[in-house]
Structure 1
């Protein structure tokens, strides 16, 4: 670190220039994952009004490379040098409404975390300008030597990526961390598989982070030639999603928009819908707040460290969208990687209240599989099992008031009633309720009689016995069918009662 004393007396000061090698090491250690680093580059493309962005993964063993290519407005030579300079624009720099940047270090810190060589080539009207950061050169000379142009191999790659385009920007990473090693062989299928697994993970991450941009024709984004599909964490168009009222929370002169969603349980989703709704990290880890800044997702599924809120399986269906203005970055503590926030003190109580409401309703959906609202007009619910928690002790008993149980216990009960009861008990073991009370995690819940849809012969036979038992107890045929229709699991099946 070079120092130069300036002035005299109390006003004297030292100009302390950071050591180039030390600064490189610091920027390389920001903790970016590969997918988060690529997302930072895509931010720049979106800010440059790009309509098409291609993320290219090319496997060449130790010479493998990754590039982000866009058709945005491009940069002049002066703008390119500014973009390549660390922190050339601070967080207080005036930015356009579409600019997703914050600190002016994203391109460099994201790139240095993944590669030893960063090359950017850009054009505004047919003439391409290129600059390169070679970290070996910076460390060897101890200076921020931003190289003009690119070496021969890199230039060949750039020519391929630009493909006669007259404007846009190419960001190219070479000498990738973890791959640029003599131990990596281009014929190593295991390492190659790992490389393209990271590409698929990046694709899923970008589909989540830039979902709002990908809807409609606003943006076209590909990863390894595969179109990125937007991932909607709230299943906004599904008819069984419960939306909480939108709240507009004041923060200084700005407004924070908050909307809670309670997703439907698995039996109301097709198999592929359920798997996709789980998101890149799975149902348990995707619950919580989703914080957006200028439509770009910052936090994906997190309770933001709010007191009394922790990730639990029974709240897996609760997701809350929070839109924060970029002007409130300081209040929210948006970090360099744009991957974490700290809620402002004045909003924490409101956020906690919305979260508790969403969590409470999510727990009810999980416990009763969304049946409560449909049955409130049908009188007291009758389940074959009764699960209770008393003094921290969970008990599970057969409900003796269930009509089929009463029929089976009646003196001289017919064998078919007993067999029907046994099958009903087998198919309605209260796994969901027990798991919720115990707060355990399992994805293997049985669906009674195979799940929602037309009832099979077994289910129909049991429903028939319940119907006949109700008629014997004095119910009219119509009332008996109505009550069968409200009994689990027949409320989710189709048959003579529906």
Structure 2
């Protein structure tokens, strides 16, 4: 057969790599993967503000690379997903260093010192690639970056690698001054997010036998345990090992203690993003966190305050990457068909127990500690249905019902109170398996009561200028009266 050799256009490829959707924290986590694979014990990340010349660097003390190794590492997809990898290698596509770096910076410089003491430096300058139409990997780097590298990778360090990002996309603006406080605050805010993210993604390495230490701008990265393993009130299900397509999936489910039992550690255990973002499955690949709180698209599973205490770890072997559809950024995964029924079963049990803990504790607390006048709303269940009522014992409600010299002021204050304190979270918690359906307006009420409420609205409309027919029509369009027959429909 005849054929054409069609090489990818460098400029178009760069645009595609920049558009993969990396956040700065996910991009730096990809660099740390390489440090872990190199056997590093220390990984330090630096954010240095200098206006449009600001830079970011990740430095490790791993075994480093010789010239050939560095050139391979800088080559797009030199080691694809088909390549055999060492145990502990967190790579997958051979794209992480390049795709992560190109998503954040115009210039990527890597200096690596191998165990024989030889240092090699290579640079990708995307403007050179775009301008030349060729993948020109530059030897060495510019003088400014060389000065940085001399500090980041000093001569007395036996081996290691330094990755430097220059001409950062979000800050490489000609008139961005060093004194721009808003931009500087944003820049160092990213450093804080990176610190939290690394503590979450690499917690097992920071806590485990590998004794990895990490810092961000000199601040030690603290591991975050999403399962609060050491808390005495944690509830755990028996761990399971389930064979899937020739590999073993390990699952361990946890229900966290009620927040009232967490004291000062509540926010810490909630984790980055808070309770709602962190509920669900935690998918690990070679101890590296891929997904941090996700319901994996399972049937009828969605984020809900009732399940804030449900967290489930899932360990997936690297050999199952393709089956789990792990992406280039190592931040998404889709469970294979054979795993879904097991995840569904364990997820349902964990969610059910998590809702019970929140609901039970909430009801006890309300009974024991809340006086009759504390809340503007009252919630209870009757006959398998939730009832939500305005608390007529609340002093402001009683004052409005009594009517007085300041009744209009009291009414306005009551309306604001009801708006601001509507018990949405409590309703969601109570909407558990034992509840048949959501509340319906006026369900179970005597018809006279509903008619009385509609009549008061009708009278108010007439007093405010509507004709009787207009007032009836407007009442008839209001929920819930639009669902019922009555005088407002002329019947």
Q: TM-score range by the shorter chain?
A: 0.7 to 0.9
Structure 1 residue 166 displacement after superposition: 2.5
Q: Is the 8 A contact 1:72 1:169 kept in 2?
A: yes
Q: Distance in 2 between matches of 1:237 and 1:389?
A: 39
Q: Is the 8 A contact 1:389 1:395 kept in 2?
A: no
2:112 corresponds to: 122
Aligned to 1:28: 18
Q: How far apart are 1:252 and its partner, in Å?
A: 2.1
Aligned to 2:206: 214
Say whether residues 1:260 and 2:235 are aligned partners. Answer: no
Pairwise CA distance, 1:183: 2.8
1:167 to 138, 147, 159: 159
Whole-angstrom distance in 2 between the partners of 1:153 and 1:292: 39
TM-aligned CA distance change 1:185 to 1:397, over 3 Å: closer
Q: Distance in 1 between matches of 2:262 and 2:424?
A: 19
Distance 1:392 1:61, change over 3 A: same
Partner of 1:201: 193
What is the TM-score with the length of structure 2 in the denominator?
0.76
Written as runs of structure 1 = structure 2, the 5 A alignment for 1:295-334 is 295-334=287-326
Q: Which residue of structure 1 lines up, in the alignment, with residue 236 of structure 2?
A: 243
Counterpart check, 1:67 vs 2:49:
no
Question: 2:42 is matched with which residue?
Answer: 52
Residue of structure 2 aligned with 1:348, choices 326, 340, 352 = 340
1:493: which partner in 2?
A: none
**2:166 paired with 1:184:** no
Residue 91 (structure 1) aligns with:
81
Q: Provide the secondary structure at the position in 1 that maps to 2:84.
A: coil
- Size of the alignment, in residue pairs? 390
SS at match of 1:361: helix
Please give the alpha-carbon distance, in whole angstroms, between the structure 2 residues aligned to 1:86 and 1:28: 13
Displacement of 1:434 after TM fit?
Answer: 3.9
Contact 1:127-1:166 at 8 Å conserved across structures: no
Which of 84, 87, 97 in structure 2 is aligned with 1:107? 97
User: Aligned partners of 2:140 and 2:260: how far apart in 1?
Assistant: 58
Q: Which runs of 5+ in 2 are unaligned?
A: 373-377, 392-421, 433-491
Please name the residue that 1:488 is paired with: none
Confirm whether residue 148 of structure 1 aligns to residue 150 of structure 2: no
Match of 1:445 in 2: none
Report the RMSD for the aligned CA atoms in angstroms: 2.3
**Structure 1 residues 432 and 335: CA distance shift in structure 2, 3 A:** closer
Looking at structure 1, the residues matched to 168 and 314 of structure 2 have their Cα atoms a distance apart, in angstroms, of 35
Distance 1:21 1:265 in 2: 53
Residue of 209, 230, 235 corresponding to 2:223: 230
For normalisation by structure 1, the TM-score amounts to 0.75
Q: Distance in 1 between matches of 2:124 and 2:32?
A: 19
User: Do the aligned partners of 1:265 and 1:370 also contact (CA within 8 Å) in 2?
Assistant: no
Any stretches of 5+ residues in structure 1 without a counterpart? 1-10, 373-380, 399-428, 440-498
After alignment, is 385-394 or 156-165 more displaced?
385-394
Superposed displacement of residue 371, structure 1 = 9.3
Give structure 1 regions of 4+ aligned residues with deviation exceeding 6 angstroms. Answer: 383-386, 429-432
Q: 2:6 aligns with which of 7, 16, 24?
A: 16
